[in-house]
């Protein structure tokens, strides 16, 4: 009898120690992190049907193929034409085009066109994965990408006209990897990890090497994404991670934008337009930023399930304000340069709204599952198909181009910063790359860096 009582007391003691008394790994911070992770899992809107019925890998792959095919349909008239080469500020597009022209024996001006088309076709894939990551809904991602593919302003038509018939090709090309850069940045802010850090830093560097203006708009997306993550908790840690990503990206791009040249860009004559834009935006931001910040804290603080709503609404609001400021003369550059980014925000908003409306209707009416969304998908696809022929101007306008790389005034100014300033930039990039390689190798070797 005594032995049975002792065993019972032992079981109760073990239960008490395991479930009641906090263990060493269950600190307040650990419990808080677990609660936040649970909220993030809850933030994913419930799927319309189980993955086994429709949302498998095969269906997702098929949907991506169809989305890319629709975007290819829009760019089909561009195949075999010469690019309208605008002055390049970053080296990525001309270097890739030069490499492609040597590999396939293609004239440089046609290689530029093909490279920009490839980046245009990357966009539906990267945008799809970003929306899937944010919402957890494949159908929301499909609707968002379809909306962004509609050949009307502010959607695909703005990207087609600016990238292939205007002088903003590198900016539009940067949009092809921008969603993936935002995805990796948010993954690093949320989960940490050296792999997330490396991907986020390298993609951010790629954007700035493709287009400095594209990097500016990417920074707007990234700041709001980081703010939405900080609202979920661990704000100081996520702010530190955010700064680390862009410090590494700046160091990796230092071989091109060396520190002396970068400072001259801001403080010299070339930065006069940027300073004028900031001076015009400061009075507007003194009123708007506190209002939007307070609005964000009151409605979205610690509410992980509303993070996609926050991003869709705030990205839309910010780019609408930027477009309005440009129309009223607040910005030196044309407000139409921001239309593609506004279209991305509106497409995310449309995808979420469509799925939400469909969910609400399904709860009220006994119609077949997914019927409303399938109707929406078919209608949007028909709109793209019918409008694709008028998305681009006549063929003679597509045949303009130059025989060689056109260097922008920014590129020409960079060539003047040679000597020690270039050596410092190259050295900074080399040291950063070496440090990242050690960061990748060290956990695998298990050796101490001190030995």
Class of residue 25 by CB neighbours under 10 A (exposed 0-12, middle 13-18, buried 19+): exposed
* Residue in 187, 181, 197, 178 with CA at minimum distance from that of residue 432: 197
Cβ proximity of 307 and 43 under 8 Å:
yes
Tokens of 147: 């909306």
Structure pTM?
Answer: 0.79
Report residue 435 CA to chain centroid gap: 25
- The greatest distance separating any two alpha carbons of the chain, rounded to the nearest whole angstrom, comes to 99
How many CB atoms lie under 10 A from the CB of residue 402?
15
pLDDT of the residue at 238: 93
Contact by Cβ (8 Å): 208, 90: yes
pLDDT at 200: 94
Distance CA 22, CA 45 (A): 32
Report the C-alpha gap between 297 and 299 in whole angstroms.
6
Residues 6+ away with beta carbon under 8 Å from 28: none
Q: Are 392 and 77 in contact (CB under 8 A)?
A: yes
Question: In this structure, are residues 106 and 114 in contact, taking their beta carbons and an 8 Å threshold?
Answer: yes
Give a three-class secondary structure readout of 149-194: HCCCCCCHHHHHHHHHHCCCHHHHHHCCCHHHHHHHHHHHHHHCCH
Decide if 311 contacts 292 (C-beta within 8 A). no
DSSP per-residue letters across 86-148? PPBSSSHHHHHHHHHHHHHT--HHHHHHHHHHHHHHHHHHHHHHHHHHHHS-HHHHHHHHHHH
How far is 233 from 296, CA to CA, in rounded Å? 14
Q: Would you write out the chain's pLDDT as a tens digit for each of its 451 residues?
A: 555 555 555 555 555 444 444 554 455 555 555 565 555 554 444 433 333 344 567 878 888 999 999 999 989 888 888 887 677 778 888 888 888 888 888 888 888 899 999 999 999 999 999 999 998 888 889 999 999 998 887 888 889 988 888 778 889 999 999 999 999 999 999 998 888 999 999 999 999 999 888 998 999 999 999 998 988 888 899 999 999 999 999 999 888 887 777 777 666 666 666 666 666 666 666 666 777 777 777 666 677 778 888 899 889 988 888 777 655 444 555 667 888 999 999 999 998 888 888 777 777 766 555 566 666 667 777 766 666 555 554 443 433 433 344 556 566 666 666 667 778 888 888 888 888 888 777 665 444 444 4
d(CA 446, CA 451): 11
Structure tokens given for 237: 């840690």
CB 222 within 8 A of CB 189: no
- DSSP state letter for 45: P
Residue 417 backbone zone (phi > 0: left; psi -120 to 50: alpha; other: beta) = beta
Which position has the token pair 């970053």?
A: 90
Q: Are 406 and 85 in contact (CB under 8 A)?
A: yes
Query: Tokens in use for 163?
Result: 């990238």
């Amino acid at each position: 009898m005594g032995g049975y009582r002792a065993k019972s007391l032992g079981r109760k003691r073990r239960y008490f120690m395991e479930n009641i008394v906090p263990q060493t790994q269950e600190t307040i911070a650990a419990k808080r992190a677990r609660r936040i992770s649970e909220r993030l899992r809850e933030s994913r809107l419930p799927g319309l049907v189980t993955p086994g019925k429709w949302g498998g890998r095969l269906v997702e792959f098929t949907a991506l193929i169809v989305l890319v095919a629709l975007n290819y349909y829009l760019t089909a008239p561009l195949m075999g034409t010469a690019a309208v080469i605008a002055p390049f500020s970053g080296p990525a597009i001309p270097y890739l085009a030069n490499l492609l022209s040597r590999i396939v024996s293609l004239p440089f001006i046609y290689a530029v066109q093909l490279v920009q088309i490839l980046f245009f076709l990357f966009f539906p894939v990267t945008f799809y994965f970003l929306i899937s990551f944010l919402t957890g809904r494949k159908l929301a991602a499909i609707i968002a990408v379809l909306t962004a593919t509609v050949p009307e302003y502010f959607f695909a038509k703005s990207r087609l006209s600016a990238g292939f018939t205007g002088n903003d090709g590198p900016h539009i090309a940067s949009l092809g990897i921008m969603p993936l850069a935002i995805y990796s940045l948010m993954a690093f802010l949320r989960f940490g990890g050296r792999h997330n850090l490396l991907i986020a830093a390298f993609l951010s560097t790629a954007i700035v090497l493709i287009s400095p203006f594209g990097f500016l708009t990417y920074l707007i997306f990234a700041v709001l994404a980081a703010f939405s993550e900080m609202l979920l908790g661990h704000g100081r840690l996520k702010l530190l991670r955010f700064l680390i990503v862009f410090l590494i990206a700046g160091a990796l791009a230092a071989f091109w934008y060396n520190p002396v040249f970068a400072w001259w860009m801001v403080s010299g004559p070339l930065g006069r337009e940027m300073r004028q834009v900031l001076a015009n935006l400061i009075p507007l931001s003194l009123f708007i930023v506190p209002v939007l910040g307070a609005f964000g804290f009151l409605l979205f603080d610690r509410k992980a399930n509303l993070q996609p709503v926050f991003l869709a609404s705030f990205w839309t609001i910010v780019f609408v304000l930027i477009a309005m400021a440009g129309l009223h003369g607040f910005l030196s550059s044309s407000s139409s340069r921001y239309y593609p980014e506004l279209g991305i925000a509106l497409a995310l908003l449309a995808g979420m709204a469509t799925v939400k409306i469909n969910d609400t209707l399904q709860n009220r009416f006994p119609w077949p599952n997914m019927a409303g969304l399938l109707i929406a998908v078919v209608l949007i696809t028909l709109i793209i198909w019918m409008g694709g022929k008028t998305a681009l101007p006549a063929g003679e306008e597509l045949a303009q181009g130059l025989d060689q790389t056109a260097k922008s005034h920014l590129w020409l100014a960079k060539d003047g910063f040679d000597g020690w300033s270039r050596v410092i930039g190259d050295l900074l990039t080399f040291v950063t790359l070496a440090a990242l390689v050690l960061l990748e190798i060290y956990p695998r070797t298990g050796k101490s860096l001190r030995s």
